[in-house]
Amino acid sequence: KIKYVSIEISPYCKLLLVSIVCTNAALGCLTFCLLCRGVDKLGTSSFEHICHSLLGRPLSQKLATIAVGLRSGGVLLTGGKGSGKSTLAKAICKEAFDRLDAHVEVIDCKALRGKRIVNIRKIVEEAFLEAAWRQPSIILMDDLDHIVGVPSTPEHENSPEAVQSDRLAYVLKDLIKEVISMGSLISLIATSHSEHSLHPSLVSAQGTHIFQCFKCIRSPDQKQRCEMLHSIIKKKVNSDIKKFSDLDLQCIAKETEGFVARDFTMLVDRAIHACVSNQNALQNSELNLSTVDFQKALKDFTPLALRSVNLHKPKDIGWDKIGGLKDVKQILMDTIMLPAKYPELFANLPIRQRSGVLLYGAPGTGKTLLAGVVARESGMNFISIKGPELLSKYIGASEQAVRDIFNRAQAAKPCIVFFDEFDSIAPRRGHDNTGVTDRVVNQLLTQLDGVEGLQGNNYLCAPFYAKV
């Protein structure tokens, strides 16, 4: 079949080309546009900023001619699994395709993992050369840390995967220097789990400055969760959400702390199934979602952020089983229980809330028991850590273990983190001959009292003595 296709080469130059293409190929050219979803599902405010300030400028021919030598833009989108970083990246590419007529090259790095380095290099080089030939263009490298990531543990630093990752990182650096050169109309977008999960040569200050912007997609707050629920329900049901009189989105948003975009999609599907099952029993044909349907959907539902987090279930013991310790109970009530029960009230306080309690005493005085009771009574997630578990013989591994604990707590918030035998990892500085615990103490101070707040998490530490 013969099809005449009008191709808009660039915003400043239009040509009418007569091409002989098969119908399937013509449809394949539009596949990317049809697969890209909008950013209404994400509820993020950074979309316009990324599109115009970082992608519009290097892809603009006028700017490239005025400011010769301007380096093309590079954006690194980071976030947990299901946070929407790939959706946002594809939406940015679609925006550039629609408004700037940019060619888009997509490299799915997750699909390349495990292949030979020669094959990976060939695929990446072909994508970069195609982008250079058809510029203005955008190169999207989705899940980049799957092929140029860092080893998960120090034991794997010399593994074949780590060696291949090092080689690919330098290959990618050379390609970027060669193809995405000064003044070219090519932009790079990469997605990764975190900035630290990529090879240091790509993101460190001493390495090549590939990315001009680092954007981390964090878990949405209560207002954003409410907006995301409203948008997804409206899209799924295809009707006005105001007709659901028994649906309280604010109540559902309060119970979905730590959920991401993909969690809400699955949650709405489960709620619709629960509603349909209930209405079939009542022989009601009209769909009428309610808060009860979402409460049924939340039962036994584990969000993506918690599926890889090892949570601990506290013992089934309440305050009534603990005698005495009146002052200790009151401090725990004021510091943890009341802020967990009335978060809106404490959020309006003009002072910074306390987020940590040090429980010290001799063995057998009930420190560990109190931590479990507080977690059970507050209804928060509970992570229990034995102090010696964090220490490692490898340089930097102990500090990484501390960072991993706080990342787990951030993913599981609202959460209580209990450090048992705390004096084994945080003694007085200068009392250790090897310097390992000194570095652990520095890392703990950075995490506990750093610039970033510890909203939603509380920390309990139980040493033998208060002098730690």
* pLDDT tens digits along 136-192: 888 999 999 888 887 766 666 667 777 888 888 888 888 887 777 656 778 888 899
pLDDT of residue 107: 92
Q: What pLDDT, on the 0 to 100 scale, is given for residue 56?
A: 52
Confidence of residue 208 (pLDDT cuts 50, 70, 90): low
Query: 331 φ, ψ to 5°?
Result: -65, -45
Average pLDDT, the chain: 74
Lowest mean pLDDT among 203-212, 313-322, 422-431, 439-448: 203-212
DSSP track, 151-177: -SSGGGTTSHHHHHHHHHHHHHHHHHH
Instruction: Decide if pLDDT at 286 tops 80.
Output: no
CATH of the domain at 272: 1.10.8.60
Find the range with the poorest average confidence among 248-262, 386-400, 442-456.
442-456
In this structure, what are the phi and psi dihedrals at residue 401, rounded to the nearest 5 degrees?
Answer: -65, -40
pTM: 0.67
DSSP 144: G
Residue 381 lies in a domain: yes
Separation CA 388–CA 401 (nearest Å)? 11
Check residue 308 and give its pLDDT: 63
Q: Which of 126-135, 171-180, 283-292 has the lowest mean pLDDT?
A: 283-292
E-assigned strand segments in 4-102: 74-79
For residue 441, give every residue at least 6 positions away whose Cβ sits within 8 Å of its Cβ, in sequence order, or none. Answer: 425, 426, 427, 429
The alpha carbon of 118 is separated from its chain's Cα centroid by a whole number of angstroms, namely: 31
pLDDT of residue 247: 84
* The pLDDT value given to residue 181: 62
Mark whether 196 and 55 lie in a shared domain. Answer: yes
| Listed range (47-56, 63-72, 185-194) with the worst mean pLDDT | 63-72
Residue 159 lies in a domain: yes
Confidence label for 14 from pLDDT (cuts 50, 70 and 90): very low
- Evaluate whether residue 372 is within a structural domain: yes
Same domain for 187 and 248, yes or no, is: no
At 359-398, the pLDDT tens digits run 888 888 888 888 888 888 887 888 888 878 788 777 777 8
Q: How many structural domains are present in the chain?
A: 4
Asked whether residue 301 falls in the same domain as residue 403, the answer is no
| DSSP 8-class letter at 82 | T
* Percent of all residues in the chain with a pLDDT value above 90, rounded to a whole number: 2
Domain boundary among 176, 197, 217: 217
Q: Are 72 and 56 in contact (CB under 8 A)?
A: no
CATH number of the structural domain spanning residue 187: 3.40.50.300
**Residues 334, 448 within the same domain:** yes
- Is 468 within a domain? no
Q: Tell me: pLDDT of 289 over 70.
A: yes
pLDDT of residue 5: 41
Domain that holds residue 270: 222-307
Quote the CA–CA distance of 344 and 416 in Å, as a whole number. Answer: 19
Cα–Cα dist 97/79, whole Å: 24
d(CA 290, CA 278): 11
Q: Is 299 domain-assigned?
A: yes
> 73 pLDDT band (50/70/90 cuts)?
low
| 193 and 339 inside one domain | no
Greatest mean pLDDT among 35-39, 210-214, 357-361, 394-398 lies in: 357-361
Instruction: Say if 313 falls within a structural domain.
Output: no
Q: Supply φ then ψ for residue 396, to 5 degrees.
A: 90, -15
Q: What percent of the chain has pLDDT over 70?
A: 74
**Looking at 20-34, 103-117, 387-401, which range is the least confident one?**
20-34
Are 59 and 51 a contacting pair, CB within 8 Å?
no
Do 148 and 228 lie in one domain? The reply is no
Residues 197 and 155 in one domain: yes
pLDDT at 132 over 80: yes
Contact 91, 36 (CB under 8 A): yes
DSSP characters over 99-124:
HH--EEEEEEHHHHTTS-HHHHHHHH
For the beta carbon of residue 173, count every other beta carbon within 10 angstroms.
17
SS3 266: helix
Please state which of the ranges 41-50, 208-217, 231-240, 395-404 shows the lowest mean pLDDT. 41-50
Residues 284 and 264 in one domain: yes
